[in-house]
């Protein structure tokens, strides 16, 4: 009788993943079984990461192989993370300009930036709205993207946003 299981990892997969972990941030970069995880949580041992993120990442690398980077969880601070040439802006406070063009804008904490201006400043960026935003903010952002909905993803009430392209 066959009673053992073989664990096979995906070996040639590349993606960015934005996880829904409510008001916190978790973004992973997966490339050929190398995994980097950025989070506002303090460690890989945090219960939220253990139950919501690591089960997904284990199909690419074991827990001990995941490189973990803490994102300082300062109140309403904007940040840019660059992963293999892909720029992600974590947008928490109002801005009127961007220091550089970005590929993704993670909209957080009921930000009141001018959505139309940001769309002009980063015409190819994908906007991701996470679980730290109220339904009122989500409705406001969705209205602004009515003519271009393919550039908007609502992470709240979903597991993750996955960008499955070579980056």
Residue extents of the structural domains in the chain: 14-163
Helix (H, G, I), strand (E, B) or coil at 64: helix
Pair 17, 27: CB distance under 8 Å:
yes
Report how far Cα 38 is from the mean position of its chain's Cα atoms.
Answer: 9
Q: Measured between alpha carbons, how far is 130 from 21 in angstroms, rounded to an integer?
A: 8
Token pair, residue 45, equals 């041992």
Dihedral, 57, 52, 46, 34 alpha carbons, nearest 10: 10
Token pair, residue 8, equals 């096979």
Q: What is the mean pLDDT of each run of 10 residues along the chain (167 residues)?
A: 50 86 93 92 96 94 94 87 91 91 95 93 94 95 94 91 72
Which element (helix H / strand E) includes 106?
Answer: strand 104-107
Q: Measured between alpha carbons, how far is 153 from 145 in angstroms, rounded to an integer?
A: 10
What pTM did the predictor assign? 0.88
Report the length, in residues, of the chain: 167
Position 9 scores a pLDDT of 55
Q: In what order do the strands lie in the sheet with 86-91?
A: 79-83, 86-91, 104-107, 126-129, 152-154
Q: Measured between alpha carbons, how far is 163 from 167 in angstroms, rounded to an integer?
A: 9
Token pair, residue 84, equals 């293999």
Position 10 scores a pLDDT of 59
């Amino acid at each position: 009788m066959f009673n053992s299981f073989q664990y096979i990892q995906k070996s040639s997969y590349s993606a960015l993943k934005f996880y829904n972990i409510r008001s916190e941030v978790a973004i992973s970069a997966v490339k050929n079984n190398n995994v980097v995880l950025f989070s506002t949580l303090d460690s890989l041992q945090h219960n939220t990461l253990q139950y919501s993120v690591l089960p997904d990442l284990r199909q690419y690398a074991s827990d001990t192989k995941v490189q973990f980077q803490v994102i300082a969880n300062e109140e309403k601070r904007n940040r840019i993370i660059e992963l293999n040439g892909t720029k992600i802006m974590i947008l928490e406070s109002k801005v009127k300009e961007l220091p550089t063009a970005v590929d993704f804008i993670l909209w957080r904490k009921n930000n009141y930036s001018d959505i139309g201006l940001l769309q002009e400043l980063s015409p190819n960026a994908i906007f991701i709205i996470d679980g730290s935003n109220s339904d009122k903010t989500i409705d406001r952002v969705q209205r602004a993207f009515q003519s271009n909905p393919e550039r908007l993803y609502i992470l709240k009430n979903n597991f993750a946003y996955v960008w499955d392209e070579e980056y």
